[in-house]
């Protein structure tokens, strides 16, 4: 990791909110480094990450630090109030400020809109190579079946060796979406990863938040 530790430190010092703990992003980065990404029968040469749900931009910046190491880019998808799941809407200007502050603005393309619209209208035109997504982070509308739908919207873009992470998995409605994907056989081509759990489960329950991620790597 070239600068990633220093940059994460800068993010923490600037008090820019990110939903995952810094150690989790470092963990993603290590997992991604181990992989050989294959899309459309060839090695992916323009890797991208997608974050569905960007909030104030901290997680997006973390992904940008990560993707810069792979000469890749990040697409941030957020409706900033359109069709949002509760009052926790992100703020586009906070996101842009965070990216500027952390010097990763040029690594990120923002797609402002509800994930359904972005997937249908914008995403097909983003890249010639359709399977160049190496990291898909789903953290937007948590109400069942929104997580399931976000996965279905973007998953076909993820290359073999790419990772999908479902954030807030301890939220019962997110859990239900992921369990249903499994029951429908939609995760048959994916292998579950053992992810780090930096938060104590009792803390999580005490604060009624689901800050924990479940992740899968595409194997076929
Ligand atoms: C939990 S926050 C995301 C946290 C972020 N991943 C981070 O690391 O800081 C959820 C975000 O999803 C966005 N959102 C909710 N429903 C959405 C939808 N249908 N389409 C796009 N964005 C949505 C909200 O505006 C909010 O910013």
In this prediction, residue 85 carries a pLDDT of: 63
Phi, psi of 105 (to 5 degrees): -55, -40
pLDDT digit string (tens) for 172-208?
999 999 999 999 999 999 999 987 766 655 554 444 3
Contacts of residue 2, defined as CB under 8 A and 6 or more positions apart, other chains included, come to 69
Q: Which domains does the chain have, with CATH numbers?
A: 4-218 (3.40.50.150)
pLDDT digit string (tens) for 134-163?
999 999 999 999 999 999 999 999 999 999
In this prediction, residue 145 carries a pLDDT of: 97
* Ligand 1 and 77: CB distance under 6 A: yes
Atom number in ligand 1 closest to CA 113: 21
Which residues on adjacent β-strands are paired with residue 42?
39
Phi, psi of 43 (to 5 degrees): -65, 135
Rounded to the nearest angstrom, the distance between the alpha carbon of 146 and the centre of ligand 1 is: 11
Query: Which position has the token pair 């459309």?
Result: 40
Q: Containing H/E element for 135?
A: strand 133-138
pTM confidence score: 0.91
| Cα distance between residue 218 and residue 134, in whole Å | 9
85: which 2 tokens?
Answer: 């799941």
* Ligand 1 and 78: CB distance under 6 A: yes
């Amino acid at each position: 990791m070239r600068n990633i530790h220093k940059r994460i430190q800068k993010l923490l010092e600037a008090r820019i909110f990110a939903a995952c703990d810094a150690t989790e992003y470092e963990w993603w980065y290590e997992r991604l480094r181990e992989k050989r990404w294959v899309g459309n029968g060839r090695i992916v040469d323009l890797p991208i990450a997608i974050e569905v749900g960007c909030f104030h931009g901290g997680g997006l910046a973390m992904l940008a630090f990560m993707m810069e190491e792979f000469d890749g880019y990040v697409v941030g998808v957020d409706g900033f109030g359109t069709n949002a799941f509760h009052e926790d809407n992100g703020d586009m200007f906070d996101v842009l400020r965070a990216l500027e502050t952390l010097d990763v603005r040029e690594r990120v393309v923002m797609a402002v809109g509800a994930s359904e619209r972005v997937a249908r209208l914008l995403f097909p035109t983003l890249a010639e190579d359709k399977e160049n997504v190496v990291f898909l982070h789903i953290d937007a509308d948590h109400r069942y079946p929104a997580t399931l739908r976000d996965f279905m919207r973007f998953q076909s873009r993820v290359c073999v060796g790419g990772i999908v992470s479902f954030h807030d998995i301890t939220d019962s409605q997110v859990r239900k979406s992921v369990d249903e994907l499994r029951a429908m056989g939609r995760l048959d081509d994916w292998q579950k990863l053992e992810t780090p759990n930096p938060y104590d489960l009792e803390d999580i329950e005490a604060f009624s938040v689901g800050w924990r991620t479940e992740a899968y790597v595409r194997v076929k």
